[in-house]
Amino acid sequence: MTKKIKGYAAVSADKPLGLYEFERREMRPYDIELDVLYCGVCHSDVHMARNEWGVSVYPIVPGHEIVGRVSRIGKYVSKFKVGDIAGVGCFVDSCRQCDACAVGLEQYCERGMVQTYNSVDPIDGMAIQGGYSQNEIVDENYVLHIPESIDPAKAAPLLCAGITTYSPLRHWKVGMGHKVGIVGIGGLGHMAVQYAKSFGAEVYMITTTPEKSTTAEKLGADGVIVATDKVDMEAHVGSFDFLLNTIPESHDLQPYLNLLKRDGTLIIVGALTQIEPGINGSKMAYKRLSIGTSLIGGIEETREMLDYSAKHNIVPEIELIKIEDINKAFDRIVDRDVRYRFVIDLKASFKS
């Protein structure tokens, strides 16, 4: 039997999120049910709730940084037991047959991963809703064990912000001997600084908010560059091997490309949209520069990231909120007024 649960949903692009009652699907043999404990608030949630990517189908219960306690398991479930602390990230299924799925890169599934919200269940056609809610039902193959040593509230943002930055730093083999810049110090950027440092690189935070330099030492950065300070930027021209750009909206890439030395690489993980203004090919060619992108990470790499984060004590800085404060949190994210990730305490929510 399915039961009615509470969540917070966007019902249109121009209305605040509000209380929404809905049902999850019936449990399938490989499903596990989680009582949601915590859910991180990703900038994508804001984009999607407000239809800023033009693909939103309402109502939408956002949330793809979910940590909960297993409350029920399907009859064939073998990887989890009731009581386990488990996490769900940005996708909840994929075709499991294509070349990408076969090598654990489900996020690049050729038939399209099934996203944690604003997507449709391939079996029953129901809208799939995210983690701003009391429970989740997900196939066990798309659920992660959360290492015991990580505070479950702080584990939540690892499932999007953590893996989105860990994966490209690993893929492009960032480490010892590299001068690395993290562009944009928000939920993603402050994780990237910590990973890049622990991989052995010399790491700079590149930010438009000078006040964020106060956290540089804590995050392990070797220096801070204020992107709006021309003299500061000029001093670093042609010196970086690698830039990870986490700025969540379209912006001029040229000032950042100027910081790269020959054969340097800039990877975009934030502004996954049309980039304006365009890029000057000649300026790139004369230094053989590369621009790339990266999208979250597969299940196996997410598992690796969680274990690595536990072992090296890499966690986000968070501010806990109740679901009733989500609209204020969205506004503060847009105003860049969060250090560095809001996490919803679902246990403390739905009480007013």
Contact by Cβ (8 Å): 31, 140: yes
Q: What is the DSSP string of 1-63?
A: ---EEEEEEB-STTS--EEEEEEPPPPPTTEEEEEEEEEE--HHHHHHHTTTTS---SSB---
| Shortest Å, Cβ 267 to Zn ion | 16
Which one, 113 or 201, has the nearer CB to Zn ion? 113
Contact by Cβ (8 Å): 307, 150: no
Q: Does an H or E element contain 281, and which?
A: helix 281-285
User: Residue for token digits 């596990």?
Assistant: 32
Which one, 225 or 343, has the nearer CB to Zn ion? 343
| Shortest Å, Cβ 48 to Zn ion | 9
Which one, 44 or 260, has the nearer CB to Zn ion? 44
Tell which residue, 20, 27, 258, has the closest CA to residue 139. 27
| Shortest Å, Cβ 90 to Zn ion | 6
Which one, 68 or 187, has the nearer CB to Zn ion? 187
| Shortest Å, Cβ 304 to Zn ion | 19
| Shortest Å, Cβ 291 to Zn ion | 21
Angle between helix 161-171 and helix 299-311 axes, rounded to 10 deg:
100
Give the other-Cβ count within 10 Å of 8's Cβ. 26
User: Residue for token digits 């010196």?
Assistant: 239
| Shortest Å, Cβ 95 to Zn ion | 3
- Residue ranges in contact with Zn ion by CB under 5 A: 42, 44, 94-95, 98, 101, 109, 160
N- to C-terminal Cα separation, the chain: 27
Which one, 94 or 165, has the nearer CB to Zn ion? 94
Q: How far apart are CA 144 and CA 191, in angstroms?
A: 19
| Shortest Å, Cβ 261 to Zn ion | 31
Which one, 33 or 106, has the nearer CB to Zn ion? 106
Q: Does an H or E element contain 197, and which?
A: helix 187-198
Which one, 101 or 153, has the nearer CB to Zn ion? 101
